[in-house]
Structure 1
Amino acid sequence: MRKPLSIAFIVRDPLPPARADVLTLFGTEMPRYGVNTELVGQAGGNETADWPAGGMYLVGSLRSRFAAVLSPLWDLRGLLRALTHIRPDCIQVRDKIASGLLGRIAAAILRVPFVYWMSFPIVEGFEVRRDEFRGVKWCAHALRAAASRFVIYRLVLPGARHIFVQSEAMADWLASKGFRRSRMTAVPMGVDDTVFDRAAVTPSQDPRLDGRRVVLYLGRIARARRSDFLLDVAEGLKQAVPDALVVIAGDAASNDEMEWMRAEIARRGIEDHVLLTGWLPQKEALGYALRAEVGLSPIPRGVLFDVSSPTKLVEYLALGIPSVANDIPDQRLVVEESGAGLCAPMETGPFVAAIRRLLEDKALAAEFAKRGPAYVRSHRTYAILGRIVAETYTKILPGAKPER
């Protein structure tokens, strides 16, 4: 019997993992191909949870005020723990900069490939954060951003045998910086089709939805994401479709952000046209989704989000919800390939017009609802994405032949 592959994987997200592109992709799909993962990172929740696909080495906590500074040292300690149990076939780092350099050095010492997984342009995020400050704070954040830029683009990525990226747009963006396109594989966000199956979800019985034309946004609230655009849309629909209700099913990263959103709703006087649910368990949130006639996925344009691969549009399509998304590259690609939604610039007039078209043209909405699940099943489930990742490991890891 062939020995399974083993990957030592340093992650930025809190452990145990909650994101599907770690939990489902590496916890469920990779073991099907004989690829086990030893996760290294910081605790963020239930520290006693098991990791079914290998080992999990939690050192430190993301709740610590010193996490940003100590994370590389914690990751070194966790990696050393992992190496006492396994000799990995590669070392992989996700979205960490200093620990990315640590991973490259460790891989060189062990004489195994180093792989980097980029799901977000971290350095550019630091630069956006820098420009929110003035004076001494600006200088501190500027130093952090400049040092991070040097480390990731001069020391970490050049030493990677392969780079997994979030989207084809991100691959093109990195290629424009001089990295070979042949060294990259795009792994966009997908869904677990056993969870996002309309037949497996119970519609919400919330009486506030009764008699309303429900338009849904399923996701995080944040100023950086221009979440108040959803309120612009609600105001635009208010006159043309009086019984429309914009349901925002999600939470914010902080109480301040939620209070900002509630204050904006009150200031505009649209309490009867917006339902802000706050945090919901996944099954309950999907119950609200099943009551929706249209799903919304507006994502601001710019360097941070243009290279992203938003999950919510794919989730809507998997559930058979006709959708309106704006024109960031990955969403435009999904809309064009699936034929299950409309693409509009993130401007109130065009977005409202696209929503009204789906609310008024029932035949078009029904056709979109039929096309969405079929597209997701053939393009964006983690079973499909898992095969792509496994085939990539076959090419980049010496002697690797993972088979289902």
Structure 2
Amino acid sequence: MRKPLSIAFIVRDPLPPLRADVLTLFGAEMPRYGVRTELVGQSGSEASDPWRAGGMHRVGSLKSRFASVLSPLWDLQGLLRARRGARPDCIQVRDKIASGLLGRCAAALLGVPFLYWMSFPIVEGFEVRRDEIGRRGKGLKWFGHALRAAASRFVIYRLVLPGARHIFVQSEAMADWLAAKGFERARMTAVPMGVDAELFDRARIEPVQDPRLDGRRVVLYLGRIAQARRSDFLLDMVELLKPDVPDVLLVLAGDAASNDEMDWMRAEIARRGLDSHVLLTGWLPQRTALGYAVRAEVGLSPIPRGALFDVSSPTKLVEYLALGIPSVANDIPDQALVIAQSGAGLCAPMEPAPFARAVRRLLDDRALAAEFAERGPAYVRSHRTYAILGRIVAETYTNILPDRK
């Protein structure tokens, strides 16, 4: 019998984990392959479920004003706690830069492989923030962000990734992007976002009983509201739809990172006179959000093009398809790939007129919408469930770690 594999996994997200690519992939799927995960990170989520797939070592809190400075020290303490049981078979770091260097050094000291998991281009995110501040004037705050971006770029691309035996990335587009920077494509495995097949089984979801949806042509955006994501683009689209589809209702089922962002969206809805055409729900429990989703005729997934999002793997499009919701998505690489492979939606550039035309086409052509609705779940079951992604990750560990073949 193959011995169990133990991974010391330093994560950027708050613990206990909420993201499916940690909670489901490592909490439920990896144990099926004999992979035990010792999670290391900071507290900060509202989840209360125990971590049954190994151990969880929370040191510090992401709600601390000093978290960005102290998290590497906290991660070191958590790593020492994880080490008390037995030496891990590898150390894996997700989306952390200073702790990535720490993980590489710790792996070298322990004589185990170091792996890196990149779900977002953190350095490029720092650079976008630097440039946003720079447009308002280059003061001391700009200098601090510029210094962080420059130091982070050096550490991640010169010290951390070159020392990783393998790099897990969010999409094939991210793998190509890193390969263009000089990293070996053979050292990368793309693990896009997926869904829990049971959770997104439409037959198990009860449609929400909300009279505001009755008699309306419901189009849905399921996700975060943010100015950086150009959420007001959806309002541009509704303004174009409502003259020809007067009963259209855009349901924005999600919250924002701050009250300011939600206030901005409410103000935009009011300024445009769209109160009767837009329902902004705010935060919802997942089952309730899915209850709204299954009452929609069309799912919407516009993601701004650019360095940050072009290499991403958005979850919402895959969730719509799993639920049998015909969808319109824009042309970031992973979404274009899913639309092309599944044949369960339409791809349009993130511009109000072409996006609105695609939505209108699905609202008008019920036969086409029904065809898409049938194709979506079948595609997800064969390509994007966490059971499938879990097998890919487990096979990768088998190929790259000693004593696993």
Same fold (TM over 0.5): yes
The partner residue of 1:297 within 301, 318, 334 is 301
Aligned counterparts, 1:291-330, within 5 A? 291-330=295-334
Give structure 1 stretches of 5+ with no counterpart. Answer: none
Letter in 2 for 1:251: D
Higher mean C-alpha displacement, 92-101 vs 125-134 = 125-134
CA shift at 1:233, angstroms? Answer: 1.0
Following superposition of structure 1 onto structure 2, how do residues 169-248 of structure 1 map, counting pairs within 5 Å?
169-248=173-252
Report the Cα distance in structure 1 between the residues aligned to 2:223 and 2:46, rounded to whole angstroms. 22
Residue matched to 2:113:
113
180-189 or 235-244, which deviates more = 235-244
* 3-state secondary structure, aligned to 1:317: helix
Q: Distance in 2 between matches of 1:8 and 1:261?
A: 41
Q: Which residue of 2 aligns with 1:148?
A: 152
> Which whole-Å CA distance do the structure 1 matches of 2:348 and 2:161 have between them?
35
Asked if the contact 2:118–2:168 (Cα under 8 Å) also holds between the matched residues in 1, the reply is yes
Q: Secondary structure at the match of 2:28?
A: helix
Tell me, in whole angstroms, the C-alpha distance in 1 between the residues paired with 2:337 and 2:5.
Answer: 33
* Distance of aligned partners of 1:194 and 1:85 in 2 relative to their CA distance in 1, 3 Å threshold: same
* Residue 234 to residue 47, structure 1, CA distance change in 2 (3 Å): closer
Match of 1:128 in 2: 128
Q: What is the TM-score with the length of structure 2 in the denominator?
A: 0.98
Residue 61 of structure 1: aligned partner: 61
1:18 aligns with 2:18: yes
Other-structure match for 1:73: 73
Contact 2:18/2:45 (CA < 8 Å) preserved in 1? no
Amino acid corresponding to residue 364 of structure 2 in structure 1: E
* 1:206-265 deviation line (CA, Å, top 9, x unaligned): 000000000000000111100010111111111110000000000000000000000000
Please, which runs of 5 or more residues in structure 2 have no aligned partner?
none
C-alpha distance 369-128 of structure 1, shift in aligned 2 (>3 A)? same
Residue matched to 1:139: 143
Root-mean-square deviation (CA), in Å?
Answer: 0.8
| Partner SS state of residue 304, structure 2 | coil
State the alpha-carbon separation in 2 of the partners of residues 47 and 248 from structure 1.
24
Partner residue, 2:279: 275
Over the matched positions of the two proteins, sequence identity in percent amounts to 82
Q: Which runs of 4+ in 1 moved over 3 A?
A: 46-49
Q: Does 1:345 align with 2:349?
A: yes
Tell me how far 1:47 sits from its aligned partner. 7.4
The equivalent residue for 1:39 is 39
SS in 2 for 1:59: strand
Counterparts of 1:232 and 1:193, CA distance in 2: 33
Cα deviation for residue 2 of structure 1 reads 3.1
Tell me by how many angstroms 1:400 deviates.
Answer: 1.1
Count the aligned residue pairs.
401
**Inter-CA distance 222–70: structure 2 relative to 1 (3 Å threshold):** same
Distance 1:294 1:288 in 2: 12
TM-score by length of 1: 0.98
